[in-house]
Amino acid sequence: MGGFAWTEEEDHLLKKCIERYGDGQWHRVPLLAGLNRCRKSCRLRWLNYLHPNIKRGNFAEEEVQLIIKLHKLLGNRWSLIAGRLPGRTANDVKNYWNCHLRKKLNAQETEEEDQNAINVEIIRPQPRSIATTGSMKPRSPDHIAPNSQPTIEESSMSTPFPYVEVDQRGKELVKADSSLGVDEPGKFVSDLATDHFGQFDEVNVLRTDECCSKWDWDDLISDMDLWTDSL
């Protein structure tokens, strides 16, 4: 660690300060609490450690599955992912991903790549036929290498997230892709987390950006809207 660990007394001072003044004005917290810490340290300590709604302990299987799915949808947007996991912080999710899931998934991908390499070998076209036909047909999904660049057709998808597309009514759908592990391709993105946790009780929900506001898929949807509007 670059700095120094928080003492019990510092935690107590910070807690008292937040309880008294709220957590809105982090630039004032060090002064109000009498702490020799910067605003960012205070905020982080509160959000990641002292907040009463923080859930401790191991991640449940359904939480892990949801993290994997959301990471495929959103990438490294930990705060968004954590916002969908009640009681978990962005730091928790990020650490869990880096320690547990990245290696696991990398191993899986390597295995799949090896398998794909074998498949590519089997279906590799004869050079002579390519030279003579010259026609460019859309690639079959089965034949796309994992890290290949998308064709123009593929790259014109309507969202920044490779596994999300938008239907005619503007609703976000999970694309048909077995690697995502979604049972029902075409399912609305907003239904994904509900499958795991149902509707949350507001009291038990922690969002990392506001700490205690309600769990809400609208944030995710509006993020996607912003992206689609910009096209």
Partner DNA sequence: AACTTATCCAACCGCCGCTAC
Partner DNA sequence: AGTAGCGGCGGTTGGATAAGT
Question: Which residues would be at the binding site for DNA (CB under 7 A)?
Answer: 1-6, 24-28, 37-41, 43-45, 48-49, 76-80, 90-92, 94-96, 98-100, 208-210
Helices (H), the chain: 8-21, 29-33, 39-45, 61-74, 78-83, 90-96, 102-123, 127-133, 152-155, 189-197, 218-229
Q: Copy the structure tokens of residue 124.
A: 């590799």
Residue (of 58, 56, 80) closest to 69 by Cα position: 80
> Nearest-5° angle of CA 50, CA 54, CA 59?
135
Residue 54 CB, nearest approach to DNA (Å) = 9
Distance CA 194, CA 217 (A): 10
Give which of 81, 82, 20, 17 is closest to 48, Cα–Cα.
Answer: 82
Q: What's the closest the beta carbon of residue 120 comes to DNA, in angstroms?
A: 30
Closest to 88 measured CA to CA, from 108, 59, 118, 115: 59
Q: For DNA, give the closer residue by CB, 97 or 163.
A: 97
Q: How far is the CB of 173 from DNA (least distance, A)?
A: 23
We find the least distance from the C-beta atom of residue 216 to DNA, in angstroms, to be 13
Q: Which is nearer to DNA, 25 or 151 (CB)?
A: 25
Residue (79 or 116) nearer to DNA, CB? 79
Q: How far is the CB of 119 from DNA (least distance, A)?
A: 30
Indicate the residue among 25 and 133 with the shorter CB distance to DNA.
25
Nearer to DNA, 62 or 184 (CB): 62
CB contact at 8 A, 10 and 27: no
Shortest Cβ distance from residue 200 to DNA (Å)? 18
Cα 213 to Cα 9, 55, 158: the distances in Å are 28, 16, 30
Q: Cβ closer to DNA: 76 or 133? A: 76
